Amino acid sequence: MDQRQQYRGHTIAMISALLVSGLATVAAPVFAENKVTSTLRIGYQKYGPLTILKGTGALEKRLAPLGIDVKWTEFTAGPQLLEGLNVGSIDFGTTGEAPPIFAQAAGADLVYVANEPAAPGGEAIVVPKNSALKSVADLKGKKIVLNKGSNVHYLLVKVLEKAGIAYRDVETIFLPPAEARAAFERGSVDAWVIWDPYLAAAEKQLGARIIVDGKGAVSNHQFYLAARPYAQKHPEVLKLLIEELARTDDWVLQNVKQTTTIFAAQTGLPADVVEQSNGRFSFHVQPISEQVIREQQSIADTFTELKLIPKKIQIKDVVFDFKANSK
């Protein structure tokens, strides 16, 4: 059985588990009685199931009978998305591992809702195709561009550590993906730490060469997060959203070509870039497990030690408890 077939089975099991635990049950009569029109504001990036869900319109169809509209806002990266969540411009969104840690440390009132499985091949350090740099060891003293506080920030920390290079022994330049790509193309930096689909685009369009990806160094989970006030007030809406994400994951794994078409239309990326990017993503939404909490805590503790965040935080304090917040 290949990985995609395994995920299809796991996704079905996930939906069943949600039903049993009550995560997929919605107090529809309450919505029906109130008949109050509200808006679920979702932040998304150029990757993952949320982008596909937006393209299919399935969530809008699911929520329309309940009087709930959906507003989608695209963000360039996780830190920017979580800033939007923190200031109240969105209610829900998806990011990699590091952004919620930086946001929590800065006082953002967010909660973890669910996550996709590890996808370590979906982020990497790349160099120009003609670069003399061949390994992580060659990065010492070099200029490396990345989006500060994104999942790739932790990747850089871990691969440098593995190679015996101190974090302070490289020159980090912090830029969002579009500006980072421009700097990479100009040759004003030596390497770029980036995630899919920007990674796939750099490979396909620029001939960028991967010197190391996340395999063996990081998990690279994708997390779904919500503003705590919204989650506490509307847990039923989040339950429905998780269920639709599970269905989307299952549909993606059975409809690869259609997924490519939808994703390309939503992002404006060429089909070959989309195919390469999606092939490295893991589709199987699931509740936050104790193992995932431990992994996130390890990342947070590493950032604390490096003084990248100002204080020690506890991940378990911001994992949303659906049972405790059921209506």
> Which residues sit opposite 111 in a β-bridge?
226
Give me the pLDDT at residue 35, please. Answer: 56
Location of structure tokens 């690279």: 220
Give me the pLDDT at residue 266, please. Answer: 86
DSSP designation for 47: S
- Could you check whether 3-119+221-318 and 121-213 share the same CATH topology? yes
Contact predicate 110/86, CB 8 Å: yes
Contact predicate 221/116, CB 8 Å: yes
Give me the pLDDT at residue 96, please. Answer: 93
Helix (H) or strand (E) holding 229: helix 228-233
Location of structure tokens 């800065």: 106
Tokens encoding 307: 């003084």
- How far apart CA 68 and CA 272 sit, in angstroms, is 36
Contact predicate 22/71, CB 8 Å: no
Q: Is domain 121-213 annotated with CATH 1.10.10.10?
A: no
Phi first, then psi: give them for residue 72, nearest 5 degrees.
-110, 135
Amino acid at 100: P
- How far apart CA 263 and CA 101 sit, in angstroms, is 28
Q: Is domain 3-119+221-318 annotated with CATH 3.40.1180.10?
A: no
CA-angle at 282, arms to 258 and 121, nearest 5° = 110
Contact predicate 225/112, CB 8 Å: yes
Domain ranges in the chain are 3-119+221-318, 121-213
Give me the pLDDT at residue 326, please. Answer: 76
- How far apart CA 327 and CA 311 sit, in angstroms, is 34
User: Tens-digit pLDDT profile for the chain (327 aa)?
Assistant: 444 444 344 443 443 344 334 333 333 334 444 454 799 999 999 888 999 999 999 999 999 999 999 999 999 999 999 999 999 999 999 999 999 999 999 999 999 999 999 999 999 999 999 999 999 999 999 999 999 999 999 999 999 999 999 999 999 999 999 999 999 999 999 999 999 999 999 999 999 999 999 999 999 999 999 999 999 999 999 999 999 999 999 999 899 899 999 889 888 999 999 999 999 999 999 999 999 999 999 999 999 999 999 999 999 999 999 988 876
Give me the pLDDT at residue 327, please. Answer: 62
Give me the pLDDT at residue 20, please. Answer: 35
- How far apart CA 148 and CA 175 sit, in angstroms, is 7
- How far apart CA 125 and CA 202 sit, in angstroms, is 11
